[in-house]
Chains A and B, each alone.
Chain A
Amino acid sequence: ILNVEQSPQSLHVQEGDSTNFTCSFPSSNFYALHWYRWETAKSPEALFVMTLNGDEKKKGRISATLNTKEGYSYLYIKGSQPEDSATYLCAISGTYKYIFGTGTRLKVLA
């Protein structure tokens, strides 16, 4: 059974701080790594999907990197804002099956 682990489980940061979270996954049988943003009472929304070792993706103040050889991905948020408060989910996928981690719950304090 493939296991995706995310850390930390939750964190609080002050507005303006930069932060990062980790997603660890088995480096074999890997096809794609996904990051989703999940706001309370809404459904998860795709942020990034990466497939190649060394991939880097960026969307505004949020960026992600991928290391497939050692089996981890980092998500970075620069200058956190209260609207960044959400749960950030990581998932790995084969061609059609997706396995999710339990998420990192971020709270940005104004």
Chain B
Amino acid sequence: DAGITQSPRHKVTETGTPVTLRCHQTENHRYMYWYRQDPGHGLRLIHYSYGVKDTDKGEVSDGYSVSRSKTEDFLLTLESATSSQTSVYFCAISETGRSSSGANVLTFGAGSRLTVL
């Protein structure tokens, strides 16, 4: 069990307000990810982190920022939420040793449903 906790699990907010989603892991995994899930698009990578203070953009990073000041926490911030950011957000960590092939495997948190009115 990778011990991934996302908070909040549900949030309703208004356009223009800032929102921060938190992903917390308990096993010191180096790589952490934020994805969003939208109908017809599957999972799209927003940002990822490869260590404390080391982050990089994914394919849909506009309007989002991230921070990782501690190994266990990866924060996703919407500085000024828009209706197009209504989505379900999944945090994931990349685990080694879970596959016989040696490749890393993503393990996901339970998701955070964000509605921007």
Query: Is there an interface contact between B103 and A98, defined as CB atoms closer than 8 Å?
Result: no
- Binding stretch for chain B, among A12-20, A47-55, A67-75: A47-55
Contact of A46 among B43, B102, B107 (CB under 8 A): B107
Contact of A49 among B35, B41, B44, B101 (CB under 8 A): B101
Complex A-B: 8 CB contacts under 8 Å: A31-B103, A36-B106, A46-B105, A46-B107, A49-B103, A52-B101, A55-B101, A98-B106
Chain B residue contacts of A52, Cβ below 8 A: 101
Chain B residue contacts of A96, Cβ below 8 A: 31, 48, 50, 94, 104
Query: Is there an interface contact between A50 and B40, defined as CB atoms closer than 8 Å?
Result: no
Query: Is there an interface contact between A44 and B108, defined as CB atoms closer than 8 Å?
Result: yes
Contact of A89 among B42, B103, B109, B111 (CB under 8 A): B42
Chain B interfacial residues counted at CB < 8 A: 27
Contact of B42 among A55, A97, A100 (CB under 8 A): A100
| A34 within 8 Å of B (CB atoms) | yes
Give 17 A-B pairs besides A32-B103, A36-B106, A49-B105 with Cβ atoms closer than 8 angstroms: A32-B104, A34-B103, A34-B106, A43-B111, A44-B106, A46-B106, A49-B101, A51-B101, A51-B102, A52-B101, A89-B42, A89-B43, A91-B106, A96-B94, A98-B106, A101-B42, A102-B42
Query: Is there an interface contact between B45 and A98, defined as CB atoms closer than 8 Å?
Result: yes
Chain A interfacial residues counted at CB < 8 A: 27
| A110 within 8 Å of B (CB atoms) | no
CA of A36 to CA of B106, assembled, Å: 9
Known A-B contacts A1-B59, A46-B98, A98-B33; the reply to A93 vs B104 at CB < 8 A is yes
| B90 within 8 Å of A (CB atoms) | yes
Query: Is there an interface contact between B43 and A32, defined as CB atoms closer than 8 Å?
Result: no
| A86 within 8 Å of B (CB atoms) | no
| B99 within 8 Å of A (CB atoms) | yes
Give chain A nearest CB distance to B88 CB in angstroms: 10
Give chain B nearest CB distance to A100 CB in angstroms: 4
